[in-house]
A and B are shown apart, each in its own frame.
Chain A
C-alpha cells in the first residue's frame, strides 16, 4: 500500500495533474521552444532538473524557512538552480543554449516550479517531494516531446534533424508562432475528450 502511494505521487504529474495539459500552467516555454524535438527535450530536462533540485532543497529545509518570507527564499533557490543549468548548457551544449535563448533564464518564473514548491514541497517529506518533482518534470517533458514532434515533422519535415518528409511537403506554418497555439489547442482538446470519455465509462460502471 505504501509503495502504491509513492507510485501515485509519481504518476500524478505524468497524467492526472499534468502541468501543461490539465493545470495549464507553464505554457510560455512549452510553446516557444518546441520547434524541434531536440530543443523540446532539452528544455524539458533542464526544467525537470531545476524542479527536482528546488523541491528537494525546499522540502529539506521546509521547517527552517520562516513562513513570512518564504516566497523570496523560494525564488532565490529556484533562480540559483536556473543559473546552474544556464551555465552548464552554455559550457557543454552551446547550440542548445543558443536555441532556447531567453527561455532558459525564464525557467525561474515558470509557474510550474513555483506552484509545486509552494503547494507541495513546502508541506511534504523529501522523498515525496522528489517523486512529485520527477513526475511533474517528466509530465512536462513528454508533452513537450509530443508538441515538438508534431511541429518538427510537419513544419520542417525532420525528426531529430533527420529528414523524414521531403521539403516540398512541409507546412512552414507549424514551425512559426501560430502553429504552436494550434497544436497545443488540439492536444488539450484531445486530453479533455479522452478524460471525459474515461470518466463517462467509470460513471456507467457504477
Chain B
C-alpha cells in the first residue's frame, strides 16, 4: 500500500507532469484562461490518461512482446489512443449527451496531448506492473489537473494586474509557469 501511495505522490507532486516534466504544455498555456475550462479539460484528460494506460499496458505485454513488436510501440500506442478517444466520444454522444456537450470539445484535442502518450510510454520504460502503472497514471493525471487549476486561478488574478509592458501576453505566462515550477521543485526530496 505504502509503495502505491509513494508512486502516486511522486507522479503527482515531485515529478509533476506539466511543471517538472514539461509534458502537455500546450493545453497548460492554451486552456487555462478561466477555471471552468481548465477543470473541464483537466478532468477529461485525467479520464483518458487512466483509460489509455489501462488499455495499452495489456496490449504491450500481451500482444507486442510475444510477437517481438516492441519497436513499434510509438506507432501502436498513438493509434490505440486515437481510437480510444474516438470510442469514448461516440459513447458519450449516444449515452450521456450532457457530459458530451461539457467534455466533447476537449476530447478531440486530447489525442495530441503529449501527457497521454508520455504516460503510457513511461509506464513501460519504468517496468511497472499493472497496478503500479494504473496508480502512476492516476497520479500523473491528478498532477495535470492540479497544475491546470492552479494556473487558471493565477491567471484570473492576473487579469486585474498590469505586468511590465514587455512581458504582456504570452511571456508573463511562462514566467508564472516558471515560478509555479520553482515551488513544485520544493517537493523534491519528499519521497526517496
Please provide the 7 A-B residue pairs with the shortest distance between their CB atoms, ordered closest to farther: A185-B174, A181-B178, A189-B171, A32-B22, A79-B75, A178-B181, A105-B74
Tell yes or no: A186 within 8 A of B by CB. Answer: yes
Q: Are B174 and A105 in contact (CB under 8 A)?
A: no
Mind listing 5 A-B residue pairs with CB under 8 Å? A75-B82, A79-B75, A83-B72, A110-B114, A180-B178
Which residue of the partner chain B has the closest CB to A114?
A: B112
**Nearest CB in chain A: distance from B14 CB, A:** 11
Tell yes or no: A28 within 8 A of B by CB. Answer: yes
Residue of A82, A101, A176, A180 near B74 (CB, 8 A) is A82
Which residue of the partner chain B has the closest CB to A80?
A: B75
Tell yes or no: B175 within 8 A of A by CB. Answer: yes
Q: Are B20 and A177 in contact (CB under 8 A)?
A: yes
Tell yes or no: B172 within 8 A of A by CB. Answer: yes
**Nearest CB in chain A: distance from B133 CB, A:** 15
Q: How large is the interface on B (under 10, 10 to 19, 20 to 34, 35 or more residues)?
A: 35 or more
List CB contacts (< 8 Å) of A83-134 with chain B. Answer: 83, 86-87, 101-102, 105-106, 108-111, 114
Instruction: Give A119 to B186 CA distance when docked, in angstroms.
Output: 42
Q: How large is the interface on A (under 10, 10 to 19, 20 to 34, 35 or more residues)?
A: 35 or more
On chain B, the residues within 8 Å of A106 by CB distance are 23, 114, 117-118, 121
User: With A111-B26, A178-B179, A192-B171 in contact, do A83 and B112 touch (Cβ < 8 Å)?
Assistant: no
Per-position binary interface string of chain B over residues 162-186, scored 1 when its CB falls under 8 Å from any chain A CB and 0 otherwise: 0000110111111101110110110
On chain B, the residues within 8 Å of A114 by CB distance are 112
On chain A, the residues within 8 Å of B181 by CB distance are 177-178, 181
Tell yes or no: A10 within 8 A of B by CB. Answer: no
Residue from the set B25, B112, B185 with the largest chain A CB neighbour count within 10 Å: B25
Main secondary structure of the interface of A (DSSP, over half): helix
Tell yes or no: B92 within 8 A of A by CB. Answer: no
On chain A, the residues within 8 Å of B117 by CB distance are 105-106, 108-109
Which residue of the partner chain A has the closest CB to B172?
A: A185
Q: Are B22 and A180 in contact (CB under 8 A)?
A: yes
Q: Are A28 and B26 in contact (CB under 8 A)?
A: yes
User: With A31-B22, A189-B166 in contact, do A102 and B78 touch (Cβ < 8 Å)?
Assistant: no
On chain A, the residues within 8 Å of B23 by CB distance are 28, 32, 106
Instruction: Give A75 to B22 CA distance when docked, in angstroms.
Output: 22
Tell yes or no: A199 within 8 A of B by CB. Answer: no
Q: Are A83 and B22 in contact (CB under 8 A)?
A: no
